[in-house]
Structure 1
Amino acid sequence: MDSTKYLSVQSLTKYIKYKFEKDPYLQRVFLKGELSNVKHHTNGHIYFSIKDDKSVISAVMFRYDAEKLNFKPEEGQNVLLAGNITLYEARGQYQIYVKEMQIDGIGQLFLKLEQNKELLKEKGYLNPEHKKAIPDFPEHIAIVSSSTSAAIKDMITTLTRRYPLVKVTLLNTYVQGARSQDSVLTNLTRADKLGADTVILARGGGSIEDLWTFNELEVALAVFNMNTPVITGVGHETDITLVDYVSDLRAPTPTAAEQAVPNIRDLQLRLGELHRQSDNLIMSKIERSRKVLDGLSNYYKFKNPNLLYTEQTERLRDLTVTIENHMSLSLSENRHMLNKHMSGLSYNDPAPDIRNYQEELLRTENELKRRMKAVIGQKSERLAGNINVLESVSPVQILKRGYSYTTFNNKIVTEAKNLNVGDVIETSFNRGTVSAKVTEVNTDD
């Protein structure tokens, strides 16, 4: 047997992989299917399978491409993929390297709905404190919906049947299709300016595509910013749209009408009950008052009014005596307190102390004058002595004894060497001065 014609498994695998990589139809493949066996690896890669009802293929999405996704791939999601087909040599298994992935069809809509909901939640628009109260007894209700809808006819019938007093204004609105978003936004603005007590935004049931206008972020923000309370009745019980999260009350069609107004029959029953209770209270009070009146009419004093006059006269006399006694006692007590205070004032009369202080002040003043006179005399004698001493050493006294002093340039000359021949000097005597010119300077000691 010639073994050279046999290939190794590796060689065959490499050849098949080469064929895959060279086939242009396998370099950009577009697939749709359901995710299965999804595994998110710690290194960021995603390993999974993509399948339909008849076949399955392995797939991998590397971290670089996975980081670009705007959702988290999970089991059972229907997706659209783009990538290239290659062969995994270790197992001889072909697989797709996914470059792009997005939710398929309805799944994509649900993903967008969740994203819009999270955005509103982050901004606090879903918080309960933003909910406005629905009026209990509205006078005017504006309905934003299609006039051709079977549900709207049921709603208007329900409103007029339950509460005939309410005025209903229908703003005909496109609720599906390309023109629906602008139509809903325009009529919400109109409804908010009508002065209505409540606005109902409604349409019948349908698929998520049919109801998508009410999942648009712009429509939800318009509902949130309404000044008028808004009840949303979009779809059936299981149909929850984005506007339902931001409206003031969500009531699936057709129960939105029942939530907007009270039932007049219930009000009539309640009014009847209140009327009966009011009658019972009034009759009970009348009965009690009649019994009191009967009791008073049988009172013996009312049958003989003189007894009332006599009783009140005696009471007046007793009160007069009591007041007179009280006043007499009060005057006596006050007179006693006055006498007591007068005695206290006489005992504490400040006049003697004032006279004593005045005499002491006079003695102190005389002593102060005497001491001041003695001090002034002593100071005068000392001053005269000091003057005599100063006069004894005064230059004037020296001049009076025949001495004089000489100055040059207003400075006293103490030595002849400080002068020069020709200098003009001035000599001062006891009386008068003499100017002279130096003709000779002798510095001999």
Structure 2
Amino acid sequence: MSDCSKPMTIGQLQKLIAGLVMVPQTRDIWVVAETMDVAVRGGHCYMELVDKAPDGTTVSKARAIIWASVYSYLSHKFMQSTGQPFASGLKVMLRVSVNYHQAYGMSLVVSDIDPSYTVGDLLRRRREILAQLDREGVLKQNRELPWPVPIQRIAVISAPGAAGYGDFINQLFNNPRRLRFSVRLFPAVMQGERAPSTILEALEAVAAESENWDCVAILRGGGSTSDLSSFENLELARAVACFDLPVIVGIGHERDVTVLDYVAAMRVKTPTAAAEWLVAQGCAALDRLRELALEISSAARDKCEGAVRQLAYADSNLRLLPGTAVERERHHLSVITAGLSGLGATVAAERSRLDARAEALSLAARNIVDIRRRALDGLAGLLGALSPEAVLQRGFSITRVGGRAVTDASMLVPGDVITTVFASGTAKSTVNE
């Protein structure tokens, strides 16, 4: 081995690299990048700065830090100028210096920020999506859906075997109140380019049997913030906003926010928090049910106590009422009896008057009958004198032809056989002329 190729230790190589990159040309340089995985620990702000290709893929990445002595001022400055906290998903302009540590490698130390620089692509895209949904009139549609009571049947959209889904199931089924839930996983890819399409397919599968579910939970257990960019999708946001069942979203850590958080009926930080929220709703429903049971029990007890008091009152009255009623009726009977005794003389007088009227009516009836009888006898005598038999007895006769009485000679023609009726007997003759 020649002297020119004498090997270096890793430490020597790291020092050589540090000497090459930590030069005046790499100090206090203004750079533009998108922030990812922003986290504050011990007052220091750690993040990743990335550059992306037009298709959204990351083409370069660097670790960066804002020391606590500077971060307090810069975060306040950024909030005052932009109205939002310094967080992931923002495209920012930062003044940085390259630092190279033998153990931790290269990082960028941030010393200043330009708040006037445009908001990052993720936030801009999110605002455009929300504005579009607002124009379509569906932005608040899912958020305004009523939650069923109780919430027990949950359709979960998540990646099979994901830690977030496991945390959700563990928290849900090991709740202290032993509430029972029915859960089914509708699998989907929760990061990368396939995430929106597979989540949409899962939503369609849930919609096909929506009558079997009370709500939908879309869950993802955190991870890199840059992986959440797939959720900033118009079609996915529209599908959640227009879904017929309430949707609860828990797809990251406390610092992670996506457009779905703005359109879903409920947004929580993590899958575990989603389970906690559902358990809390079940506990609230159970507590309300117990309150109603107590109210019903109290009302029934009051009714029973009132009925007992009313029964006691009735019992005491029943002991007195028969005697009182008998005395009242006895008095009433005495009054009637006294009235009836006074009516005796009146009844006798009325009886005498009725007897007199009956005698007068009987005499008047007899007189009327005698008068009518004499009149009838006179009419009978008159009828007897005028009868055909009486006329015949006086010498008259009745001539009939063909059974009809002849009253005019013109009624006869030669050859007619006539019958003559006398007081005693008849004679037949023939008309010649």
Asked whether the two chains share a fold, i.e. TM above 0.5, the reply is no
TM-score (norm 1): 0.43
The structure with higher relative contact order (CA 8 Å, sep 6+) is 2
TM-score (norm 2): 0.44
